[in-house]
Amino acid sequence: MVTDNPDNSEVQTPEEEIQKQQHELVALSRVSAALSGLWELDAILRVALDTMLDVMNGTIGGILLMDEETQSLAYRVHTGLSTRYVEEMQIGPGEGISGRVAESGKAILLEDISADPRVARPDLITTEGLKAFISVPLRAKDAVLGVINIASRTPRRFTTSDLYLLHSMGDQLGVAIEQSRLYERLRKARERYRQLAQQTLVAQEEERRRIARELHDETSQVLSGLALQLQALVDMAEMSGTQDAEFISGLKKVQSLAAQVHGDISKLIADLRPALLDTLGLIPAIRQYAETSLRPLDINVDVETIGVLGYLPPEVEAGLYRWTQGAIGNIAQHSRAKNASIVLEHRDDELLLTVSDDGQGFDVSEITDIEPNGRGRGVFSMKERVGLLGGTCSIDSSPGQGTNVRARVPLSWHDEDGKNKGTGSR
């Protein structure tokens, strides 16, 4: 550490020395307590500067951060300095006192900065009337991220122990800045991922809708016509008294095959994009899906709405419908239940969708990741879907106790007056 004009002249008794150390420890823990739990850079810098000024009994200071691109230092937060000083004090690498501190990673302590030939802007220092000055690097690992300066307009002797204390605080602050930058990067990456996932789901829904439309307008129409025409041929052959039994049975087989494929295609269309979702809305579509999936398995299903379900934006309808498909699919596949129930509850500012069954249940804590065989994919994609609608998804189950899955989605499409833009129930 380079210290100019170190003041080691004070002779202290052991008691004074202990007291001073205690004071420094308290000061350090105050800074770390103030910084803990803060993630936003400006808040971190503000709190750090205020605490350091308080600890040092000072009123003038600021934190300069290094711009990674231009490699220059500029004030990010400050106290007691004029706007002109702060704006004009842009410091290049190795320039002035702060530039030197940043370049060397070593602190500088000055009794009177206005008399120091190394300053970058003597004019600004003189106008500002600064005298005592202490400049400490903010280090994280091996890099210097910036500098903290504390100054005084009246002659004041900063001591070397002030310097050590500020140094330790600078190191703490450096780590906090680094963490906040990492956190910010993580936050941005998450946001990018969320937008991408959202766009993917919208594109997927659109693609499903397009395929469903084409299958309906082309393939399904042709197959239905084919099945009808084959039926007509069977009828004609039977009426004309054809004796060729093999021919008639062959024709019937082809006809029933065409009818079966038509049925399969209709089911596929319904899975891709249930017509009821577009025409009658979420609840009828869910009811139809639940009944056609669970009744054949002898699972009784009850669908209920509580409150008036007003307008739902298409992405909310599609999201909740797909979420429910996941829950119903799991009941069909895994529950061995006798009864299932689906309740959609409209509360003031949220929608609650609950799907429960009285089946064998499972240990939810086992599902921590998507297993190679795909187990867990359903549950995680259900959580993801609801998350993209700004909501949350919870699963409550244990072996022998049945399963209860719940989606909670905020009704954020209220208008500015807080009124629901809904157009009434469907």
Report the C-alpha gap between 29 and 169 in whole angstroms. Answer: 9
Q: Which does 376 bind (CB under 5 to 8 A by kind): Mg ion, ligand ATP, none?
A: ligand ATP
C-alpha closest to that of 134 among 154, 156, 108: 108
Report the C-alpha gap between 307 and 346 in whole angstroms. Answer: 5
The 332-371 contact track toward ligand ATP, x by CB under 6 A, reads -xxx---------------------x-xxxx----x----
Neighbours of 178 (CB within 10 A): 16
Binding test (CB under 6 A) with ligand ATP, winner from 173, 331, 342, 353: 331
Q: Assess 378 for contact with ligand ATP (CB under 6 A).
A: yes
Cβ 330 to ligand ATP shortest distance, Å = 3
Angle, vertex CA 403, rays to CA 399 and CA 406, nearest 5: 145
Query: For 188, phi and psi rounded to 5 degrees?
Result: -65, -40
The 4-33 contact track toward ligand ATP, x by CB under 6 A, reads ------------------------------
Report the C-alpha gap between 56 and 133 in whole angstroms. Answer: 12
Q: Which does 359 bind (CB under 5 to 8 A by kind): ligand ATP, Mg ion, none?
A: ligand ATP
Non-local CB neighbours of 331 within 8 Å, separated by 6+ positions: 294, 299, 337, 340, 355, 357, 359, 403
Residue 254 vs 364, nearer CB to ligand ATP: 364
Which residues contribute to the site for Mg ion (CB under 5 A)? 330, 378
Residue 92 vs 329, nearer CB to Mg ion: 329
Residue nearest to ligand ATP (CB): 378
Q: Assess 159 for contact with ligand ATP (CB under 6 A).
A: no
Q: Kind and range of the H or E element at 96?
A: helix 96-104
Q: Which does 357 bind (CB under 5 to 8 A by kind): ligand ATP, Mg ion, none?
A: ligand ATP
Q: Which does 335 bind (CB under 5 to 8 A by kind): Mg ion, ligand ATP, none?
A: ligand ATP
Binding test (CB under 6 A) with ligand ATP, winner from 149, 159, 330, 354: 330
Non-local CB neighbours of 216 within 8 Å, separated by 6+ positions: 269
Cβ 200 to ligand ATP shortest distance, Å = 17
Residue 312 vs 342, nearer CB to ligand ATP: 342
Q: Which does 377 bind (CB under 5 to 8 A by kind): Mg ion, ligand ATP, none?
A: ligand ATP
Pair 420, 414: CB distance under 8 Å:
yes
Non-local CB neighbours of 374 within 8 Å, separated by 6+ positions: none
Q: Which does 362 bind (CB under 5 to 8 A by kind): Mg ion, ligand ATP, none?
A: ligand ATP
Report the C-alpha gap between 91 and 93 in whole angstroms. Answer: 7
- With H, G, I as helix, E, B as strand and everything else as coil, classify residue 209: helix
The site for ligand ATP (CB under 6 A) is made up of 330-331, 333-335, 357, 359-362, 367, 374-379, 403
